[in-house]
């Protein structure tokens, strides 16, 4: 594996109904996700064939389905679910996922709250 090859999707904004509080689940809010896939891009680079890499359009749809899906309390749980989906395509060796919750229920002025996790394929 070439450890330096990455495919990155940044700023995917999807409305979800996650959170500890009832009003978060009822009203929903936007979640913003950044995902970096660690891959070996050499085969795709030589073949110039989408079948030899990760289709980032499909990746975005998979992530959106998770965010729009079953509510969870914690963005840590949401990040884990996204990471597992992002690791599914063949050729993805590891993934970094950041879930931003810019409308988190905090009584102070703030820009963002986020959780970042790193997961890798067990046999990588």
Q: Which residues form the catalytic set? A: 101
**CB distance 96 to 35 below 8 Å:** yes
User: Of 53, 105, 63, nearest to 83 (Cα)?
Assistant: 63
Residue with tokens 């997961």: 119
**CB distance 24 to 18 below 8 Å:** yes
Report strand pairing: 6-16 vs 114-120.
Answer: unpaired
Beta strands in the chain (DSSP E): 6-16, 29-39, 92-100, 114-120
């Amino acid at each position: 594996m070439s450890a330096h090859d990455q495919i990155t999707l940044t700023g995917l904004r999807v409305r979800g109904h996650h959170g500890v509080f009832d009003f978060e689940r009822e009203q929903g809010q936007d979640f913003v996700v950044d995902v970096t896939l660690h891959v070996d891009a050499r085969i795709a680079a030589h073949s110039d064939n989408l079948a030899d890499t990760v289709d980032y359009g499909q990746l975005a749809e998979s992530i959106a389905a998770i965010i729009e899906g079953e509510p969870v309390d914690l963005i840590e749980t949401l990040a884990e679910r996204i990471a597992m989906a992002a690791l599914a395509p063949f050729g993805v060796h590891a993934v970094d996922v950041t879930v931003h919750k810019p409308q988190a229920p905090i009584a102070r002025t703030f820009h963002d709250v986020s959780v970042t996790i790193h997961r890798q394929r067990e046999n990588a």
